[in-house]
Each structure stands twice: as structure tokens, then as C-alpha cells.
Amino acid sequence: MTLPTYFVSHGGGPWPWMKDQYGPAYDRLEASLKAMRHEAGERARAVLVVTSHWETPGFMVSSSSAPGMIYDYGGFPPHTYRIAYPAPGEPALARRVAGLLTAAGHPAGLDPERGFDHGTFSMLYPVYPDAAMPVVQLSLRRDLDPQAHIEAGRALAPLRDEGVLIVGSGLSYHNLRQFGAGGGAASRAFDGWLQETMALAPDARNAALLRWSDAPMARVAHPREEHLLPLMVASGAASGEPAACVYHEDDFFGSLTVSSFRFGRVGGPPPTRSTNES
């Protein structure tokens, strides 16, 4: 069975460990993440996270068998700097990922020192709270070229038939200077474009993603696009397959509109892949 791929709006900081402070603010996001585990089911044997919190000159893959923790946030309670998410890595999968990318013309290296950043461990905790599922991370390429990231997704597509769940972890709106009431209009406008784009036929979807910066309020929603680029990988890895919105709310942090998307079908026969996309 071919696994779907996902782009997840991963929320802010170490939110699963701050429910006393946030109350029900993350309930809808948490429910969507738990649903992802159900949709992947027993077919998933490992997760590849394309993380918006790791940029390198060329693609890099975390290759430790026991990744550490990276607390890449500030101003949170002391206990959030003692979080442990002891999921194992999988060096063999890391080599497979790097090999697929390199063979497709996108040289990739291995980083045995890279630990889990919060775009990985905060997002995965609701999905696999027992931390038993092996996890490998893929960096973004520092040039943030959307074409390269869509192509990287295409190169990684065979992993979906090998039990690897590909998850792009970012945010559909990421302007920290306008995070709250000031960002409401921009987040709604950009999300409206995203919803229209995800509803397109797959070839047209990927072509539109290449021109994402022409979307309404694009550079307000993403002054820098590192939290959007994981979407390109997830979409590219499901080339020829439809997208569906699996999480959406219009009052994130009071007024922001944010969404997550699934690419490919849940269950059913392997898809017929497109070979002539833009």
C-alpha cells in the first residue's frame, strides 16, 4: 500500500507540553495529528520529517540511531527545556533518502549529530506519543528554491511504498511580527489561495506552487518561506495525486487562518504517477 504524504502546520513551540497554559487552543490541531496516525495505520514503519527548522547549503539527512534534542525556542517554561522525545533514528533509511536525492541530481549528505528540533518532536508527539516509531529528518536547501523542493519530493516518492510516512512540518502562515490580530487578513487571503491551489489537478497544483510568491499577501504571510517549503516536498512526493485539507481553523492565536494538507489517498491501490509535470 502507498502511504499518503502530509504538510502539517505544526503550531507554536512545545505546545503539547503546555496544555495548562494553552487550554483547548490546540485541540483541533491535535485531533488532526492523531488522525494522521490512524490514516497511516500499520503500513507506516518510519517517518521522514521535512523540517522547516533545519536549513543547509545542500540537502542533509539526520543519520543518528539515537537523535538528541534541540530546544530551538525561547521564553517558554523551564520544563519545556527538559522534554525528551526518545524516538530512534534509522541510519539505513537516512542513507536511502540521501541516495534517492543524489540519484535525482540533488546531492544530499548525512548528519549523524542532528537532533530533533521542535518542528519534529512537538508535531510527532500527538501522532506517536510512545516515541517508538523511527524518525529521520530532512533539511531544507538554504536557497529555498521551490522547484528543487518539489523535485526532491518526487525523488523521495518510492519511500511511500516502503512504509515511510513523509511529513512536511511548517506553518501555512508564518509571520512572527504579525502573529495575532495583525495577521488575520493576510492569513485569510493566503489561505484562500492555498485552498484553491490544493484543489487543482496535481500538475497544475505543483505549477502554481512554483509561483507561490504571486499569491495574495504571500510575502506578508511568509516574509521568508522556510515554513512553506515543506509543503513543496510533500506535494512533489505525491505527484499525480489529489490533495485534501485535513486541518483548518480561522481563529488560531485569536485571528489567524492556518491549514494542513494530505496528499494521496488513504488506503486503496497504489496510484498511477504522473511523469509530465511542470
Q: What is the pLDDT of residues 166-206, one digit of tens each?
A: 999 999 999 987 777 778 999 999 999 999 999 999 999 99
Rounded CA-CA distance 137/122 in Å is: 14
* Domains along the chain with CATH numbers: 5-263 (3.40.830.10)
Helix or strand (DSSP H, E) at 141: strand 135-141
Over residues 104-144, the pLDDT tens digits come to: 999 999 999 999 999 999 999 999 999 999 999 999 999 99
| Percent of the chain with pLDDT strictly greater than 70 | 96
Supply 270's cell numbers: 497504489
3-state SS, one letter per residue, for 73-122:
CCCCCHHHHCCCCCCCCCHHHHHHHHHHHHHCCCCEEEECCCCECHHHHH
Q: Where would I find the H helices in the chain?
A: 19-22, 27-40, 91-103, 118-127, 146-156, 184-198, 202-210, 218-221, 229-236
The pLDDT value recorded for residue 254 is 86
| Residues 123 and 17: beta-carbon distance below 8 Å | no
The pLDDT value recorded for residue 167 is 98
The pLDDT value recorded for residue 253 is 83
Mean pLDDT of 246-272: 84
Q: pTM score, two decimals?
A: 0.94
The pLDDT value recorded for residue 278 is 33
pLDDT of residue 231 exceeding 70: yes
Over residues 11-55, the pLDDT tens digits come to: 999 999 999 999 999 999 999 999 999 999 999 999 999 999 999
Nearest to 51 by CA among 160, 124, 132: 124
Pairing of strands 135-141, 108-111: unpaired
The pLDDT value recorded for residue 181 is 73
| Residues 101 and 236: beta-carbon distance below 8 Å | no
